[in-house]
Every structure is written in structure tokens, then in C-alpha cells.
Amino acid sequence: MTYLPLFLKADDEQPVLVVGGGEIACAKTEALASVGVRVDVVAKELGEAIIDMCDEHGFSYEQGEYELRRIEGRRIVIAATDDDALNEQIAHDCRARGILVNVVDNPPLCDFIFPALVRRGPLQVAVSTSGIAPTLARMIKQTLETIVPAEFERLIDFMEAQKTKLRKGLSQIQPRRLFSEDVIRGPIAEEVLEGNVQRAEELFDEALARYPDRHSPALYLVGTGPGNADLVTLKAIRLLGQADVILYDRLAAPELITQYGRKDAEKIFVGKTRCHHHKKQEEIDEIIERHLRDGHIVVRLKGGDPGIYGHAAEEIAIAKKVGVPYQIVPGISAAHGCAAYAGLPLTERNKALSVRFLTLYKDQLHDETFWEGMRYATNETLVFYMSSHNYGTLCEKLIESGFDADTRFLVIEQGTTPYQKEFPGAIGRFEEDYADNKFASPCLMIVGEVTRYYEEFKWKQPPIEEGNFFEELPEKEAA
């Protein structure tokens, strides 16, 4: 069952009708009163508590049977009697007339449900589990009550009082938004929360007079980690909220954008896989440059860490060319994330003294100097990115370079996601064990002594079902 989250405007001309006079009806009436809604109550029997509630808030109440005439002209009706058949009849009557109805403790009959609500004046945070687990919703509400102190109502009132001043001082939307974020996150808000409103106004005026009324473009190369959205950094989350434009590839978890990006930010897909470049790097560079020159804050989301096979240098060069500030926000690399979720250390005393991050392009496959250098890597951990189509050749070349045929490897598909799978083996038996296997993208291969820990140290259970966490690339639009 799906519910659309909405906040309805309270209408004094058409009070909400509550049918019922017991404890549940009283609780619903109190919830409506807490957000300033007017209520009419009708019930065959009215309890003392609901009468007191109505008297306290000036609500009308009437003792009597439910009749069809009572819902005529209503926008919202709450059926809160202890008679299931009557509640069902009220729901039927309301739906026949296009009236929104809530039947207490009966979600299938509800057009809407009541969320657990955290309220700080105009600020309202609603939590719902679609009626499935109200206890969980209540627990989340209790957590939010501690995170959002009651003093936040002062801050909302303060920002409302400064709105006209802010619009006059900063004529453009981006600097106005960034200035507001600085106010809310900084010492001005702290003064407001402590009740020092006059001091806060002085600081606000001083800061506003200094703030530039112009766009402030910037480029942020943000690592999103290997897939699991829980592994992203707090700084990445903060910068996503500032972005005017978000460029993302297929390895960035979609919820990062939906949860932390602004709804009005432009989202541009620029994903690539081998033999399928939805956007070539030159096109990506052009998009970045165009938006920077337009004064936008651009966040470039990259799977893993932006400094590892992420074209970071090329994109930084664009920011330097345009003359705007830039930052690299590190992410957990695929090597670190996949190894950790497979239970592997990447280094180990007397077994793996260092780690190499590698990928095999055509040049390396036939470069004797490259493979000669690998002769000295037998006591290292090797992590091969983006090379699944060459794993067989890779294993052969390592043996030719001096690696023992019994050297262990571990291929990890879709690491850190619910669909992570591991494929262990020895490089001398790769063709025999996996020649016909097509590994899901993305995947990487870890080679070295540390992979011998896999069977003993693995902690992540196999996926319950097969699937792709990362979406396939969409078809590229014709030019």
C-alpha cells in the first residue's frame, strides 16, 4: 500500500468531522487540535474526555446516531467508532462523495493516515510506515524529538522576520540560499536558539552587508564509495545539498541523490562502462565547464574514490581553466570496500607488504616491461580494476612473470551491495574454473596471499536472490 506524503491546509470554514466519542476518537481529536485544525464531533455516546477536549478548544460536539447528512459538505472525515460495520459504511459514504476519510486502525479503508509528528511551530516532520509498523514510526519520532530541540521554533520565526531584508540584500537565488545555510549552521542560529534575538539580528545584518550578491561557482569531485550508500562521507552529504548541478555515474547509489540532493538541482547521468560510453569524457568535461561558467556549484559523483581511475586530473583542469575553486572529497575505494566486505585485509605481516591498484588496457597486455615489473610483486596484494574481460590472460601472464600457479585470487562482484558475490580460486586454474563465467559489472580481482583468509574470515552472507544493484546504462539519445 502506497501513500503520497502531503500537508493539507487547515480550513476553518469546513471543520474536520470525527465520528466517535471514545478514547481513540479523543486521541484523533487531540492530534487535529495540536496542528490548529477545527473539529466537529458526533457520536452515539460521548465520553467525558472528548467532551473536555472539545470544550478546551472550542469544538462543537453532538450526541446522536451517524447519518448521511452529517458528512455532506465535508472535506475530511475521521471514522473512530468501535463498530467496524459502521466505520466501513462511513468510508463507503465518503468515497462515493469524494470526501477524504480515515478509518482508525483499518488502513485498507483509509484515503490517508496520520503520521507520527514532530512539530516546532511551522516546522513539521512527519514519519509514517504506511500503517504497517506504528511502533517503529513512534520510535523514530522520539529520536527526532531529541535531534530537533523545541527552540527551533525560534529559529523559524527569526528567518521569517529576516525574509524581506534577505531578498533586498541578495537579489539572486544561489547566494541567498548559501547565505541562509551559513546562518542556520553558524553562530547566528546559536544566538537565536539561546534567545539572544537582538544580538542575532546584529550579526545577521553585518554578515548580509558583507555577503557578495553574485553566483559562486565551484567544482566538487565526490567519491560515493563502492555502492553501499551508508559508506558515503558526511562532507559528501553536505555538498550534495549545495549542488546546483549533479553529474553522476552508474556506480553512485541512487538514494544518495534522492535523499541528499536538492529537488531543484539538475541531475545529469554521465555513466560509462567498457564499450558503452553514454557520455565520453570530452562531453563530460564540456558539461562541467559550461555549468561552471554559468555560475553553478557542480558536484561530480564518482563511484569509489575520485582519485582512483576517475579522470580527476582532467576535471580539475577544467576548474582551473575557468578559475573557480574545487575540492576532492575522498570516498571508500572499491578495493577497500570489496576487500572489507569479503573479510580480507589488504596487507599482512610477512605475507603482503604493500598493495597495488591496477587495470589492464591493451597496451599493458603486450608490454613485456610491465610484466617484467610484476615479477617483483609476488609478496604484494594486487587489485585489478575494470579487467574482467582479461582475467584469463592476466592469470597466464602472472604465472609467466614468476607467480606460483597456486597463488590465490578472489573475484568480487557488486561489492558492498546486497548482491555481492565472491569467486575464489588459484590463478593456475582460472580457465578451468571460470572460463565460461561472465562476471557482473562492476567487479574486481584481488590476487595475493591475503585471499587465503577468505574462507575463514568471510562475514557477509551470500545474496538471497540474484540481481543487479547497479542499473544498466540507458540507451544514448541520437544526436
- The residues that are catalytic are 249, 272
Residues 149, 152, 153, 155: what is their CA dihedral angle, to the nearest 10 degrees? 160
Position of cell 491546509?
9
Please give the angle made by the CA atoms of 194, 198 and 199, to the nearest 5 degrees.
Answer: 70
Pick from 366, 431, 419: nearest CA to 392: 431
Q: Cα dist. 230→22, 234, 256, 259, 469 in Å?
A: 45, 10, 9, 12, 15
Interatomic CA distance for residues 83 and 208, integer angstroms: 60
Number of H helices, E strands in the chain: 19, 19
The 10 Å CB-count burial string (b at 16+, else e) for 169-179 is: bbeeebbbbbb
Residue 155 CB: number of other CB atoms within 10 A? 21
The 10 Å CB-count burial string (b at 16+, else e) for 397-427 is: bbeebebeeebbbbbbbbbbbebbbbbbbbb
Interatomic CA distance for residues 421 and 213, integer angstroms: 52
CA 150 to chain centroid: 26
Question: In terms of DSSP H, where are the helices of 360-407?
Answer: 362-365, 368-374, 391-400
Q: Cα dist. 94→87, 100, 110, 188, 251 in Å?
A: 11, 7, 10, 49, 47
DSSP annotation of 104:
T
In contact, 199 and 187? CB cutoff 8 Å:
no
Pick from 457, 412, 458: nearest CA to 439: 412
Residue 314 CB: number of other CB atoms within 10 A? 13
Q: Cα dist. 7→57, 99, 379, 465 in Å?
A: 22, 16, 62, 38
